[in-house]
Amino acid sequence: MLRSLSSGVSGVKSHQTLLDVVGDNISNANTTGFKKSTVNFQELMSQTERSATAPGEEKGGINPKQVGLGVSVGSIVVDHSQGNISYNTGSKSDMAIEGDGFFIVDSGSGPVFTRAGNFILDGSGDLVQAGTGFRVQGFQMIDDPLNPGSRIAGSDLVNINIPVGQKLPAKATETVAFRCNLDSRVSTVLPMGLNANDLAISGTIGGTPTRVTFSEGQGPTDFLRVTFTSDDGSAVTASLPLSGINPQSSLPRLGEAQIDLDGDGTSETVRFDDTSGRIEIYSGTDGELLWGTEIGASLNYSLLQVDDGSGGTIPYLAEFNDTPAGNRELVLWGEDGSGGMGRFSVELSVADDGSFEIPSGLQMTVGGRSIDLSATSSSQGVSLAQSGKTIQTFTPRTSSVHSSKFEIFDSQGNSYTLETSWEKVDNNLWRWRAWLPDTPGVALENNTGLVEFSPDGLVKRVMDASGAEASTMTINFAALGASDSTIQLDFTGKALGVGAIDAVTQFGSSSTTKEYFQDGYRMGILKDYSVGADGVIQGVYDNGRTQDLYTVALAVFSNPSGLNKLGSGAYRETANSGSPQILKPGEGGAGNIAGSSLEASNVDLTSEFVNLIKAQRGFQASARVITTSDQILEELMNLKR
């Protein structure tokens, strides 16, 4: 009798616990981040009245005879499954975890963990949990020492503080990056002589594959050099002298050159046709034509007619050479006044913006005749005059110049307009210039150089005025009270984190400037913030800048059901939960962060009501066992009557 009574009592107690847990679940159906619990029953020990016997030869085995002694609560397990997420709560400080992990909050006596992301900013700018004041913890974002301009998460947990109204100091521009195309189809900016960069032609001469390259010589007796290189690497160079000018074609008349091309002891003749622009090689002196090609289109000269003093004119070929400092050397080729051919030159200074700076009274002597030089009215070209009469004006071809303007900043946050231009000076070669068009009193150093492109249209190398592979200029902002600035001009896409195809290119399409990047800014005031899926809290400043401030930290446990509930949605680790892995969102199994969102309770009311019915019926049935056992005991007591 007493066994059934005890079993009934254990059933009543156990189902009472089930009722308590179900009631707690139901009462927290609308609690942010709440995780429901489930009750698992297990039987108590059984009383063995007869042990089992093994099968024998005469009769089979007998099972044990045992009487159960009731039930107990084996475990109460917290279900950490994902609750529904309410998005767009209207509060930027609300956060929800999509996936595994817990927010880490400082309770004042150590870290605790929660899924409830109903956070607010307190009076000190600390991000705290509403209702408890527990401070939310994360990793502070710091400047990356290996990658200037970017920020990375620190390694120590700190309380997250978002001081709205805090100043962001001004930052001087250090990097300017470009994304544009320079039209490969345009001519050079001025007549630049032989467009020799990468000018090489392959052909078969006398049955031998040969590579023919062209380069400018050193003077009238060595005007054009033609080098023939065979497959075995042996090379022979022919130097063609200047013998005159063809006014009809604006091409030089060149003398012949004799070479032994194949090393057999006999000479071949190299000739240039100043009418067709063809270079040809013949066997012997007047033998058969071995090979020929047209190069006239690569001889980029302008025809200049100089007064001979007797009513006639003398033709000269004019070209400009690009100097390392970005200036232009004006070169005239033609008669030297003594029956021979001469080279006459003068170096012309060029301003930062590419315009000529020609002092008054500048002259050059050409074949014994004086020619005056002056800047054109547009300050972009140069005029040549003889006896007060203009004989030629050279104006840069506008289609061969591409420019871009944008804003940069000094160390005090003052803004300036920086203009950058590119001028085509040769095949696959462009000169870049940078200047401040609205601040002419500020000096710039190393603000010009060259960009060389590969035949595939991508940047091959970038050079400064000294020819070094660099494009770093200095601006004398100290004259205005700020610090001098050193600015890296990036044409390769590295500063933008893109490949060369998305940087400055040279293709046969119109020149365009799609977009650019510069990393300077004026002082700003923190006015807002947002939280990304990666947990990064990004500050928004009134100067249009954003800055990563913190990354929310998440703790992941191997057994989250082993955590100890503290109330208010908080948990503490236990010996069976495992130590927390402190991670950034989205890494190592941690979930992502949903900003302006809250995770709802994972309580399913339908299931809880069913469990409520089960608990009620189990309690009632166990109570009936108690009352029935009591009635039987009463009958037993009445046997003595």
Q: Render pLDDT for 307-342 as a digit per residue (tens, 0 to 9).
A: 988 889 999 999 999 998 999 999 999 999 898 999
Q: Do residues 109 and 96 make contact, with C-beta atoms less than 8 angstroms apart?
A: no
What confidence tier does 412 reach under pLDDT thresholds 50, 70, 90?
very high
CA distances from 490 to 402, 522, 549 (A): 16, 22, 27
The pTM for the full model equals 0.75
Taking the CA atoms of 183, 186, 191 and 197 in sequence, report the sign of the dihedral they define. positive
Taking the CA atoms of 544, 537, 122 and 142 in sequence, report the sign of the dihedral they define. negative
What is the count of structural domains for the chain?
5
Q: What is the pLDDT of residues 32-45, one digit of tens each?
A: 999 999 999 888 87
Say if 540 falls within a structural domain.
no
Say if 545 falls within a structural domain.
no
Query: Is there a single domain that holds both residue 134 and residue 213?
Result: no
Last residue of one domain, picked from the residues 396, 430, 455 = 396
What confidence tier does 606 reach under pLDDT thresholds 50, 70, 90?
very high
What confidence tier does 145 reach under pLDDT thresholds 50, 70, 90?
confident
Q: Do residues 172 and 410 make contact, with C-beta atoms less than 8 angstroms apart?
A: yes
CA of residue 285 relative to chain centroid, distance: 62
Say if 211 falls within a structural domain.
yes
Query: Is there a single domain that holds both residue 219 and residue 253?
Result: yes
Say if 43 falls within a structural domain.
yes
Query: Is there a single domain that holds both residue 30 and residue 121?
Result: no
Mean pLDDT for the stretch of residues 362-377: 91
**Residue 203: per-residue pLDDT:** 87
Last residue of one domain, picked from the residues 232, 267, 300 = 300
What confidence tier does 180 reach under pLDDT thresholds 50, 70, 90?
very high
CATH code at position 474: 2.60.98.20
Say if 530 falls within a structural domain.
no
The helix or strand, by DSSP H or E, that contains position 525, with its residue range, turns out to be strand 524-531
Say if 541 falls within a structural domain.
no
Query: Is there a single domain that holds both residue 265 and residue 215?
Result: yes
Query: Is there a single domain that holds both residue 147 and residue 102?
Result: yes
Query: Is there a single domain that holds both residue 367 and residue 427?
Result: no
Q: What percent of the chain has pLDDT over 90?
A: 67
Query: Is there a single domain that holds both residue 388 and residue 429?
Result: no
Say if 156 falls within a structural domain.
yes
Asked whether the predicted pLDDT for residue 571 surpasses 90, the reply is: yes
Asked whether the predicted pLDDT for residue 93 surpasses 90, the reply is: yes
Query: Is there a single domain that holds both residue 63 and residue 98?
Result: no
Residues 6+ apart with CB under 8 A from 443: 475, 476, 479
Query: Is there a single domain that holds both residue 372 and residue 405?
Result: no
Mean pLDDT for the stretch of residues 225-238: 91
What confidence tier does 631 reach under pLDDT thresholds 50, 70, 90?
confident
The helix or strand, by DSSP H or E, that contains position 15, with its residue range, turns out to be helix 2-27
Asked whether the predicted pLDDT for residue 1 surpasses 60, the reply is: no
Tokens representing residue 409 in the block: 């900043």
Asked whether the predicted pLDDT for residue 149 surpasses 70, the reply is: no
DSSP, residue by residue, 434-472:
EE-TT-TTS-EES-EEEEEE-TTSBEEEEEETTS-S--E
For residues 531 and 138, give the distance between their C-alpha atoms in angstroms, rounded to a whole number. 13
Asked whether the predicted pLDDT for residue 48 surpasses 80, the reply is: no
Tokens representing residue 103 in the block: 């927010």
Query: Is there a single domain that holds both residue 222 and residue 290?
Result: yes
What confidence tier does 121 reach under pLDDT thresholds 50, 70, 90?
very high
Asked whether the predicted pLDDT for residue 46 surpasses 90, the reply is: no
Query: Is there a single domain that holds both residue 341 and residue 354?
Result: yes
Residues 6+ apart with CB under 8 A from 401: 189, 354, 421, 422, 423, 424
Tokens representing residue 608 in the block: 């809880």
Whole domain around residue 115: which residue ranges? Answer: 87-163+552-599
Mean pLDDT, the chain, integer:
90
**Residue 497: per-residue pLDDT:** 82
Mean pLDDT for the stretch of residues 293-306: 93
Q: Do residues 529 and 536 make contact, with C-beta atoms less than 8 angstroms apart?
A: no
For residues 292 and 270, give the distance between their C-alpha atoms in angstroms, rounded to a whole number. 9
Q: Do residues 319 and 250 make contact, with C-beta atoms less than 8 angstroms apart?
A: no
For residues 37 and 52, give the distance between their C-alpha atoms in angstroms, rounded to a whole number. 39
Q: Which of 156-165, 241-250, 377-386 has the lowest mean pLDDT?
A: 377-386
**Residue 197: per-residue pLDDT:** 67
Last residue of one domain, picked from the residues 522, 541, 560 = 522
In this structure, which amino acid lies at residue 277? G
For residues 584 and 593, give the distance between their C-alpha atoms in angstroms, rounded to a whole number. 10
Say if 331 falls within a structural domain.
yes
Query: Is there a single domain that holds both residue 35 and residue 18?
Result: yes
For residues 129 and 244, give the distance between their C-alpha atoms in angstroms, rounded to a whole number. 90
**Residue 295: per-residue pLDDT:** 92
Q: What is the pLDDT of residues 489-541, one digit of tens each?
A: 999 988 888 889 999 999 999 999 876 888 899 999 999 999 999 999 999 99
Long-range CB pairs of 65-70 (<8 Å, 24+ gap) are 67/3, 68/7, 68/43, 68/44, 69/3, 69/6, 69/7, 69/10, 69/44, 69/45, 70/6, 70/7, 70/8, 70/9, 70/10, 70/11, 70/43, 70/44
For residues 422 and 86, give the distance between their C-alpha atoms in angstroms, rounded to a whole number. 54
Helix (H, G, I), strand (E, B) or coil at 276: coil
